[in-house]
Chain A
Amino acid sequence: MKTDHLMTRESMEKGRALMVSLQDACQAIGSTILRLFEACGRLVIFMGHAVVNVFLPPFFPRLIVRQLVDIGYYSLPVVGMTALFTGMVLALQSYTGFTRFNAESAVAGVVVLSMTRELAPVLAGLMVAGRVGASIAAEIGTMRVTEQIDALSTLSVNPFKYLIAPRILAGTLTLPCLVLLGDIIGVFGGYMVSIYSLGFSPGRYLTQTWDILETMDVISGLVKAGAFGLIVALMGCYHGYNSQRGAQGVGAATTNAVVSSSILILIFNFILTQVFFS
């Protein structure tokens, strides 16, 4: 009788412990999901706020120009080098593959299509995420922790209009321009390798390039680029604006900006490719 009693007690205890740990697990999963939703929600609200302020006056043309230069012009070398060497390596790699099937003539097509559709936008996006996303997050984050953003508000200037809108506008506008240049430079890189190292005839290579390329290939790449530019600027601004206190907070904001924008670029690249080509 007594042992029986003990047994049930014990098993009940076990059952309760199991219940508790199950509850804990559910709670952990639940709260993670909730936090994810919350973060997404906050990001969407932030984005809405930012985009609205791009279109509402007052505007700050001087700041927009400065951001266009900062984000666009100063990214030229990075994007240019990336595109050049990617185009070159594409030609080399596709050549070694295609010679096995006597399909060398496909090299030009592979270079131009890969560049315009995928590689120029994605690689430029990732490079700019590293260069611009990080600097936006660091700058705005520093302004946050040194109370400069609060100071903006007390001086009757909306930080969204003054800091965020110009960066978002500049990011969205400049990345397509960078990618267009990257397309050209990448094709040029492939061309140089094909002509000088693989022995293609210049005229043939260019005709092949031109014949296979369709407007849609370029357009889709540029639309992607615009989306990636928006992502980079937005994530930089978002993480900087919500930076926690201190140097550590700014450091974390910078890392988060680069990592999250890089991952979002890859995700949206997939989504946009799906939209355009299926």
Chain B
Amino acid sequence: MTALVKLQLCGVRKAFGKKKVLQGVDLVIPQGKSMVVIGGSGTGKSVMIKCVLGLIHPDEGSILVDGQETVGLDFRGRDRMMKKFGMLFQGAALFDSMKVWENVAFALVNGRGMDRKDAYGVAVEKLKAVGLEEAVAHLYPAELSGGMQKRVGLARAIATNPEIIFFDEPTTGLDPIMADVINDLIVASTKDLGATTLSITHDMASVRKIADYVAMIYEGRIIWTGAVDDLDHSGNPYVDQFIHGRAEGPISFGVSAA
């Protein structure tokens, strides 16, 4: 990892009441690379991403983007920072009161004041990039299947050509073929943009497809990081258990509910 560091988390902690979710997360993502964080459900993967995005304020620790501290950033600074980010939410989080193209063009129209007609053109282009026809642009999100919603979410995330893109379980809840399609789209669209990406998943097929680097989160800490090629001989029993999906191993699932 000699490349420029795009995103760095140091000792990030977050608790909700008595529940300590993140207990000192350290993570480094080089410029233009794809980092995938794996880990069981409820281990705080989404919380980690939301801390980076500034949607949740960490209790402790520092988060550097391009070497600049983002924790405790004021309103304007956060605004500027957000323009570098794109995010695909776990449930797609499309605005259900708006048509598909308005969703995709949302940041362009409302965040950057682009003309609606121009924004429509960009939206259609981005929809094409994720394999959706122009006809879809005029539908409402509720009229789409889960896979199509994810595609629209992806189109929306890349609409502003962000520098860093976050994917929260992009393939969860999709059939294997659609999941593969989404993986391909993620790889294609982010390579096109030269974007740095941070993804979360517990789908190993997805990991092998989109990751340059892999990190495993367990009990609020990153317990292993390495290149995707080292995943199979990590020498870490937790990682081994996870990637092979064994019930037996050091990870106990009798842990705290949800």
Contact = CB atoms under 8 A, between A and B. Distances in A.
B33 interface: no
Interface string B78-112: 01001101110111011110000000001100111
Contacts of B195: none
B217 interface: no
B110 A155 contact: yes
Interface in A30-79: 58, 60
A157 B110 contact: yes
A156 B89 contact: no
B110 A154 contact: no
Contact of A157 (B89, B90, B93, B111): B111
Contacts, number: 56
Contacts of A156: 79, 82-83, 107, 110-112, 160
Interface string A180-214: 00000000000000000000000000000000000
22 contacts: A58-B113, A147-B89, A147-B90, A148-B95, A150-B50, A150-B55, A150-B87, A150-B93, A151-B87, A151-B89, A151-B93, A154-B53, A154-B82, A154-B86, A155-B106, A155-B110, A155-B111, A156-B79, A156-B111, A157-B106, A158-B79, A162-B110
Given A147-B90, A147-B91, A147-B93, A153 B111 contact: no
A249 to B, nearest CB: 14
Contacts of A162: 110
A146 B93 contact: yes
B95 A154 contact: no
B253 to A, nearest CB: 22
A153 B82 contact: yes
B150 interface: no
B87 A154 contact: yes
B221 interface: no
Interface string A145-187: 0111011011111100010000000000000000000000000
Given A147-B89, A151-B94, A154-B87, 12 more contacts: A146-B93, A147-B90, A148-B94, A148-B96, A150-B50, A150-B55, A153-B54, A155-B106, A155-B110, A156-B110, A157-B110, A162-B110
A8 to B, nearest CB: 39
A262 B85 CA distance: 41
B156 interface: yes
Q: Which of B50, B110, B112, B160 has the most CB of A within 10 A?
A: B110
B107 A148 contact: no
Given A153-B53, A154-B85, A156-B82, A148 B111 contact: no
A244 B110 CA distance: 27
Contacts of B112: 156
B82 A151 contact: no
Interface residues of A, number: 15
Given A60-B110, A157-B111, A146 B156 contact: no
B93 A148 contact: yes
A154 B112 CA distance: 13
Contacts of A150: 50, 53, 55, 87, 89, 93
Nearest to A153: B55
Contacts of B55: 150, 153-154
Interface in A88-116: none
Interface string A204-241: 00000000000000000000000000000000000000
A151 B110 contact: no
Contacts of A148: 93-96
Contacts of B50: 150
Contacts of A153: 53-55, 82
Contacts of B94: 148, 151
Contacts of A154: 53, 55, 82, 85-87
Contacts of B95: 143, 148, 151
Contacts of A58: 110, 113
A58 B114 CA distance: 13
B154 to A, nearest CB: 13
Nearest to A150: B55
